[in-house]
Structures are given as C-alpha cells and as structure tokens.
Amino acid sequence: MKTLFAKKIEAEHKWYVIDAADKVLGRMATGIAMRLMGKDKPTYTPHADTGDFVVVVNAGKVRLTGKKLDKKIYYWHTGYPGGIKSQTARERLEKDPTSIVSEAVRGMLPKNRLGKQMLKKLKVYAGADHPHAAQKPEKLT
C-alpha cells in the first residue's frame, strides 16, 4: 500500500466563517489553526498547503478568560536601542481587535515559509461584515 502525498495544486480549498463573539480566544485560535493547516482533512500533508480559508468576524467581541485582559502583555521591539514597546490585551483590543486573533493563530502555525502562506488564508474583521460573500463561505460553530 502506498502513502498518498497531496500536492498543492490538487488541494481543494473551502471557505469558512467563524463568529468570534463571546468565544474564548485560545480555543477558537486552535480550531482556526487546524483548519488553515488542513489537519482536519484526510489528505493532510505536512509539506503542502492543503488547508482552507477562514474568515473571522466580530473579532472585537472575543473573550479572554481570567485576568488576561490586564495581565497579558504584548511586546515588540522597534529595532532601535531601548526600543522595546509593550501593550496590554485590553489596550490592543480597543486599538486593533483583529491583531489579537491573528497573533494567537500565528503562534500556532509552523514557523517557516509554509506557515506564512497559511496565515495569508486567514481574514479577520472587527465587525460583523466581510467582503467574501462571493466565495460562499460555510458557517462554522
């Protein structure tokens, strides 16, 4: 019996919509990462992008458990000496709610070129509207 390895051109990519309102961030992000990688399909191949497109709406209404809104801190560096910056989850949720969801999913994807390709298939929107109605996305619960 031969092992089947899917090729990138053979992969069939579906579109899914996830409503993030009142969903816990980490649990939702793991499900999204699995869909983007294609691990939910029997044709999963580690070296090929066989995953689906995921559209996340209502990212501004995502829920963080415990005291994470005030205690979780996002750090980044500007590249200049002494240029470390920080922001709490509450501040980031008010300023740019889409970045919280995309950062959580990005941390769960492979750290290579394939992971960057997979992240491009994630579309996150703060409100309830999205411009991907033409792709006829299925609703995920």
CA distance 22 to 7: 37
CA distance 134 to 125: 16
Q: Which domains does the chain have, with CATH numbers?
A: 13-64+93-140 (3.90.1180.10)
CA distance 15 to 136: 7
Residues belonging to the chain: 141
pLDDT of residue 11: 83
pLDDT of residue 8: 79
Spell out the per-residue pLDDT of the chain, length 141, in tens.
788 788 878 888 999 999 999 999 999 999 999 999 999 998 899 999 999 999 999 999 999 999 999 999 999 999 999 999 999 999 999 999 999 999 999 999 999 999 999 999 999 999 999 999 999 999 998
Q: Provide the phi-psi class of 113: left if phi over 0, else alpha when psi is between -120 and 50, else beta.
A: alpha
- The pTM score is 0.92
